[in-house]
C-alpha cells in the first residue's frame, strides 16, 4: 500500500494516508477525510484551515499531562503549535514535559516571551512544575505511567550511585542529569509563582546530592568524572545557591537546610567513603570470626573476611551507613 503525506482537512494535523483510497480516517481527530483533498492541503499549506478550538486541544493536552501520559500530551501540543507557533501556554506545557534541562529552560523562555507571564494558567502550571520535580527525585508517587517510569529511573540511578561509590560511572552521570532536570523545573515553578515551598524541594535535592559518591571531587578532576556531574557543580549548583538566597530574601520565615557548597559536598562525600570503609572492616571482622568458629584454616578465614568486607562496603544502602 502506497502512503503519502497529507494534512487533515478537519483538524489540520499532518498525517499519512493511503493514496489508492478515496477516503481515510485521521489518526489524530478521528474524522473521515477525502484523501486527494488532504494530500493537496499538505502540498499547499496556505489552503490549510486554522485549527478550531485550540484552547480545547490545549485542555486535552493538560489532561494527558496530569495523567502522566507525556507522549500523547506532546502530540496534542505539537498539533496546536503547527497553527499557533507563538502560543505561550503551549510552549510552557512543552517545558513542563521536556526530557532535558536545556529544553525546560529554552521552552519556558519562549513561553514567557510569547506572553505567558500574563496567563491565568500560571499558578496551576507552577504547581505542575513543582510536582514533577518532587516526583522526579523519588520522594512522591507519580501521577501516571510516563512519570512513574521517569521517577523510577531517576531513583534507580541515584540509588546505584549511592550504593556503589567506587564505581559511580554512568549511574552518577544519569543521577546528576535527573537532579539538574529537577532543579530547572523548580526554577520555572518559582518564576511562575514564587513560593516558600520551592525551598523544600531544594532541600530534598540537596540531601540527595550531599550523599552522592565522591561528589566534590568532580570539581577539580579533569578526567574520570562524567559530564553531568561536572556540569552540576560548575553551573547548576551556583544557580541553586542563588535561588536559595532569593527565596530567603523574599520569604524570610522559610526554613531551609544549611546552604550546600562544593566544600560541604566534598566533605560529605568523603564521609560516605569513610563510612563504607568502616562498614567493610566490620564485615571483615564478622566473617573472619565466622571462619574461625568453623575452624577453617587461617588463610581461608582471611579470604572469607575479605569477601565479607567487599560485600558490606559495596552493597549496604547509603541510608544504613553510620554517620561520621
Domain boundaries, the chain: 3-47, 157-260, 269-320
163 against 208, higher pLDDT:
208
Between residues 256 and 92, which one has the greater pLDDT? 92
For 285, half-sphere exposure in the C-beta direction (CA atoms, 13 angstrom radius) is 6
Please say if the pLDDT value at position 96 is more than 90: yes
Greater pLDDT, 19 or 55: 19
pTM for the predicted model, two decimal places: 0.59
What span, in angstroms and rounded, lies between the C-alpha atoms of 221 and 132? 32
Counting Cβ atoms within 10 Å, is residue 251 exposed (0-12), middle (13-18) or buried (19+)?
Answer: middle
pLDDT for residue 185 = 93
Asked whether residue 111 carries a pLDDT value surpassing 70, the answer given is yes
- Report residue 262's pLDDT band, with 50, 70 and 90 as the boundaries: very low
To the nearest whole percent, how much of the chain has pLDDT over 70? 68
Range from 46-55, 66-75, 111-120, 171-180 carrying the lowest mean pLDDT: 46-55
Return the higher-pLDDT residue of 163 and 235: 235
Beta bridge mates, 18: 3
As a whole number of angstroms, the distance between CA 310 and CA 91 comes to 50
Of the pLDDT bands very low, low, confident and very high (cuts 50, 70, 90), residue 260 is very low
Q: Where are the alpha helices (DSSP H) in 193-297?
A: 197-209, 227-231, 237-250, 262-293
Decide: 62 and 72 in contact? Cβ < 8 Å.
Answer: no
Asked whether residue 95 carries a pLDDT value surpassing 90, the answer given is: yes
Are the C-beta atoms of residues 229 and 173 closer than 8 Å to each other? yes
User: Which of the residue ranges 50-64, 190-204, 223-237 would you say has the lowest mean pLDDT?
Assistant: 223-237
pLDDT at 233 over 60: yes
- Residues near 226 by beta carbon (within 8 Å), at least 6 away in sequence: 168, 169, 170, 172, 173, 176
Question: Which pLDDT value is given to residue 107?
Answer: 93
Chain-centre distance for alpha carbon 199: 18
Per cent of the chain over pLDDT 90 is 10
Mean pLDDT of 250-262: 61
Which cell numbers hold the place of 86?
507563538
Q: Where are the alpha helices (DSSP H) in the chain?
A: 35-43, 54-66, 70-81, 88-97, 101-113, 122-136, 145-163, 169-192, 197-209, 227-231, 237-250, 262-293, 298-315
pLDDT of residue 168: 46
pLDDT of residue 49: 46
Of residues 230 and 244, which shows the higher confidence score?
244
Cell triple for 140: 512522591
Cα(165)–Cα(213) distance, integer angstroms: 5
Q: Tell me the C-alpha distance between 194 and 190, whole Å.
A: 4
d(CA 323, CA 21): 71
Q: How far is CA 77 from CA 180, 181, 215, in A?
A: 24, 21, 38
In 3D space, the residue among 238, 134, 129, 147 whose CA is nearest the CA of residue 194 turns out to be 129
The mean of the pLDDT values for the chain is: 74
Most confident range, picked from 18-32, 199-213, 221-235: 18-32
- In the three-class reduction of DSSP (H, G, I as helix; E, B as strand; rest coil), residue 4 is classed as strand
pLDDT for the residue numbered 223 = 46
Q: pLDDT higher for 95 or 118?
A: 95
Which residue shows C-alpha cell 531513583?
155
CA angle 120-125-130, nearest 5°?
A: 150
Q: Judge contact between 82 and 14, C-beta under 8 A.
A: yes
51 or 196, which is more confident: 196
Residue with cell 542563588: 242
- 123-151 pLDDT per residue, tens: 999 999 988 888 777 643 433 444 455 55
Amino acid at each position: 500500500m502506497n502512503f503519502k503525506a497529507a494534512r487533515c482537512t478537519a483538524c489540520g494535523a499532518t498525517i499519512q494516508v493511503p493514496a489508492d483510497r478515496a477516503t481515510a480516517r485521521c489518526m489524530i481527530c478521528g474524522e473521515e477525510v477525502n484523501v486527494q483533498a488532504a494530500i493537496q492541503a499538505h502540498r499547499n499549506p496556505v489552503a490549510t484551515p486554522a485549527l478550531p478550538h485550540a484552547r480545547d486541544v490545549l485542555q486535552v493536552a493538560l489532561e494527558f499531562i496530569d495523567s502522566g501520559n507525556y507522549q500523547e500530551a506532546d502530540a496534542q501540543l505539537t498539533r496546536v503549535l503547527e497553527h499557533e507557533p507563538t502560543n505561550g501556554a503551549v510552549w510552557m506545557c512543552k517545558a513542563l514535559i521536556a526530557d532535558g534541562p536545556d529544553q525546560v529552560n529554552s521552552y519556558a523562555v519562549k513561553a514567557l516571551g510569547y506572553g505567558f507571564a500574563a496567563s491565568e494558567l500560571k499558578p496551576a502550571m507552577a504547581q505542575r512544575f513543582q510536582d514533577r520535580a518532587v516526583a522526579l527525585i523519588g520522594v512522591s508517587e507519580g501521577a501516571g505511567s510516563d512519570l512513574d517510569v521517569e521517577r523510577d529511573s531517576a531513583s534507580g540511578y541515584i540509588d546505584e550511585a549511592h550504593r556503589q561509590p567506587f564505581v559511580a560511572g554512568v549511574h552518577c552521570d544519569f543521577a546528576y542529569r535527573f537532579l539538574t532536570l529537577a532543579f530547572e523545573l523548580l526554577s520555572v515553578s518559582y518564576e511562575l509563582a514564587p513560593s516558600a515551598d520551592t525551598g523544600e524541594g531544594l532541600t530534598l535535592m540537596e540531601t540527595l546530592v550531599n550523599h552522592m559518591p565522591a561528589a566534590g571531587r568532580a570539581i577539580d578532576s579533569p578526567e574520570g568524572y562524567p559530564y553531568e556531574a561536572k556540569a552540576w557543580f560548575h553551573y547548576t549548583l551556583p544557580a541553586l545557591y542563588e535561588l536559595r538566597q532569593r527565596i530567603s530574601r523574599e520569604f524570610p520565615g522559610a526554613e531551609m537546610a544549611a546552604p550546600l557548597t562544593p566544600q560541604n559536598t566534598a566533605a560529605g562525600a568523603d564521609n560516605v567513603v569513610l563510612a563504607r570503609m568502616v562498614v567493610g572492616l566490620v564485615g571483615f571482622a564478622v566473617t573472619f570470626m565466622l571462619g574461625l568458629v568453623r575452624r577453617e584454616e587461617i588463610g581461608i578465614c582471611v579470604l572469607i573476611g575479605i569477601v565479607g568486607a567487599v560485600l558490606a562496603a559495596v552493597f549496604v544502602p547509603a541510608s544504613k551507613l553510620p554517620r561520621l
